[in-house]
Structure 1
Amino acid sequence: MADTNYISGIVKILENPKQKLVNKTIPVTEFRVQLPQFKNNTIVNLVFWGNLGKDVTNYYKLNDYIIIEGYLSLKNKKTLNLSKRVTITVLKIYPFLLSSSHFGTKG
């Protein structure tokens, strides 16, 4: 079982969201982000369930900064060095700094 904690922070989107279906009915969206507040620029995975994931796919793009709130979980990877995989299940999301492509500018 994984330990969970409530977390909020600003993250930078590093990749385009990937959507999949769980039990053929529930949409789940996942992608990697960077926590720029830390010196080593920690990379974590975000998970969005249901319609929130669809909204994220429609409104946010690569290199956007967003504010998130959700539950942090740490899981052991099945590798030789037993590193931890950090995942945040997001409950709330807010725009922070959006790229110029959101505003219809050319260039």
Structure 2
Amino acid sequence: MNHSTFVVKVIEKPVRLIYKGCQSIEIKVKFPAPRQKNSKNELTLLIWGDHKDDFVKSYKIQDYLIIEGTLTSKGYINDGNDGNEVKIIVKKFYPFLLI
């Protein structure tokens, strides 16, 4: 398993997905500050179950989150590049407050 934890910023509205009767949402996020200029800093989050409803009710664009989940790139081909798009299947998420 590729369990990982990230601090991310929500950059797009959630997109609802329905596959074989299961509902989920897909959200584009990015790291707050990339380490290198040419590094890729955007990810896609997949959230389902009760977590998807909590996310839609509580979070909006420009919010920061701490996410825990499983990192995956298998089977997700990015149209813009030859490489694979990285997605995270979210297990838990928490608000991250910048004061």
Q: Same fold (TM over 0.5)?
A: yes
Q: Which runs of 5+ in 2 are unaligned?
A: none
From the superposition, tell whether residues 78 and 72 of structure 1 become closer, same or farther in structure 2 (CA, over 3 Å).
closer
RMSD: 2.2
* Structure with the largest fraction of strand: 1
* Pairwise CA distance, 1:81: 5.0
Alignment partner of 1:74 is 2:73: yes
The 5-angstrom pairing of residues 1-107 of structure 1 reads 4-24=1-21, 26-39=22-35, 40=39, 42-75=41-74, 77=77, 82-97=82-97
Give the percent of matched residue pairs that are identical in Structure 1 and Structure 2: 34
Distance 2:40 2:77 in 1: 20
From the superposition, tell whether residues 81 and 57 of structure 1 become closer, same or farther in structure 2 (CA, over 3 Å).
closer
Distance 1:80 1:19 in 2: 22
Runs of 4+ in 1 over 3 A off after TM superposition: 78-81
Which TM-score applies when normalising by structure 2?
0.82
Q: Which runs of 5+ in 1 are unaligned?
A: 99-107
Distance 2:95 2:78 in 1: 34
Which TM-score applies when normalising by structure 1?
0.76
Please tell me whether the aligned partners of residues 11 and 33 of structure 1 are also in contact (alpha carbons under 8 angstroms): yes
